[in-house]
Structure 1
């Protein structure tokens, strides 16, 4: 029944016979014939070919679920073998968004590779929504994210915390009183959240920037949701000149003078500093969040996962 499971699963992933055939390095006609024979042998159709892109039949959904469960079992067995060998070989797959995979994950991956050079590390870079799907399907082992996930479904290991910073081009900071509230990159990088809570690093009020254009992330993004909450509490709708998918792009556009951006203090800390921008801390608690590593509670924590989390919890905060 599962003789051609890899072919069938690839078609399911690609939703297209032609793309699946290219990925499998076989002809489309050969792939179509193989799957047709597999369906005849099983005794039920797996794919609904009457819709575009192709979908799954009711039986097909059960078949794919069984294949994914088999893959999880296979991964667990392989990881058990790796643990027996004391991580002399193995595999670890980590997912993260653009900023985290570029600036934070390398801080943990480098010492992990030094400690376990024979463990193959695979990194997936995408949106949290897409990475969550991969995590649930068992395609990645760990998810590196600042989004809060349900505790009933996922185990959580906090790596570090961050808070939100308002980055404003100097040309929009013409009021002397407001400019006096601006902080340097070093101050925002050095001070912990407790400094904000105790007002040792006084926050700026968003109402001072009602006439300022903003560069924000698209609706639905975790950071955009927090920004919308801040604007709602400030009592005004911002003038949004551009919506983006990546916070790092918003930061660069703010540096170019296009408009103000709301980003993480870790981004201000790690990315190249803009020349003509003012930095302002914002009110907590809406601006504070934690960057954590997640994996499904039903999954088994392998030795590779355990060691990576240990290293990440030491290496990343040490640099930040």
Structure 2
């Protein structure tokens, strides 16, 4: 098994199982790409693609389990190349932070700007993913730490430090009838089409649970994985949105209005997460201090306690 074989199966999937396009993308002939696939299947001992009359029709059950591992392996190799180039160009260190879209876009920029001013030669990498995926990166050591919403703290290999709460707001266009309601209720919101998070996010389930517990049915007009998409379609008049308060900034979102809905939905917490037993680098600690001095102090105290009991 070699990297070319792994890249071959990845490209076939990227090209929607079209062997011709995959071969062209890799600058290979179709027979050469087919041979690479056969060699990989022989090495792994399992078929990777379903076939029908000479055409690929889908992934095998074994492949569905193996492809995420292939993707991580190739990402790691590409990361190795990138980091090596940066170090060769004069970088004095690498710091990788895992996070989600909302935190990366609305919470991290100020602290990251200060960090880059302090350490211009440190290669800072932001790796975005969904909640459980980010925690897996911390546990495996693929990233130095994460700042993300955490819904379950039962991870024996991780330490969680509460950073800031995330509350819900309802966003509308100016002049919307909801803006005239003194204190909105769920019964007010269900009168309008809803735009909110995609089902891949636990926040969507928590929002749905609130309506379900009240015996209300919601007309979800659109779901999205990015808060900016939610805002875009609220601006277009498709409906009202439910997002995190951290994702709304009156200075930038001048075409929108936000209504406090913290009393209607469960509060979430953003945590800084580090691998238990790992010693964060001085660069990681500095960025954490810039993000939240309180979390920085808590981490330092926990390290001192661990050292004293050792």
TM-score by length of 1: 0.64
What are the superposed Cα offsets for residues 146-168 of structure 1, whole Å, 9 maximum, x if unpaired? 13243324222332222111223
Task: Give the gaps of 5 or more residues in structure 2.
Answer: 51-56, 296-310
Query: How far apart are residue 267 of structure 1 and its match?
Result: 1.5
Query: Could you tell me which of 178, 188, 191 is aligned with 1:208?
Result: 188
Query: Could you tell me which of 123, 127, 130 is aligned with 2:126?
Result: 123
1:204–1:283 CA contact under 8 A, matched in 2 = no
- Give the match for residue 226 of structure 1: 206
1:102 maps to 2:94: no
Distance 1:30 1:299 in 2: 45
Distance 1:298 1:46 in 2: 37
Higher relative contact order (CA 8 A, sep 6+): 1
Taking structure 1 as reference, are residues 276 and 156 closer, same or farther at Cα in structure 2, changes over 3 Å only?
closer
What are the superposed Cα offsets for residues 108-127 of structure 1, whole Å, 9 maximum, x if unpaired? 21122222222211122343
1:255–1:276 CA contact under 8 A, matched in 2 = yes
Aligned length: 269
Task: Give the gaps of 5 or more residues in structure 1.
Answer: 83-87, 182-202
Higher mean alpha-carbon deviation, 141-150 vs 231-240, is at: 141-150
- Aligned pairs for 1:1-320 (under 5 A) are 6-7=3-4, 10=7, 44-45=43-44, 48-49=47-48, 51=50, 89-132=92-135, 134-135=137-138, 137-149=140-152, 150-173=154-177, 176=180, 178=181, 181=182, 203-269=183-249, 272-275=252-255, 277=257, 279-283=259-263, 286-297=265-276, 301-314=280-293
What are the superposed Cα offsets for residues 154-213 of structure 1, whole Å, 9 maximum, x if unpaired? 22233222211122335541785x1xx2xxxxxxxxxxxxxxxxxxxxx53221233222
Query: How far apart are residue 139 of structure 1 and its match?
Result: 3.5
Taking structure 1 as reference, are residues 226 and 256 closer, same or farther at Cα in structure 2, changes over 3 Å only?
same
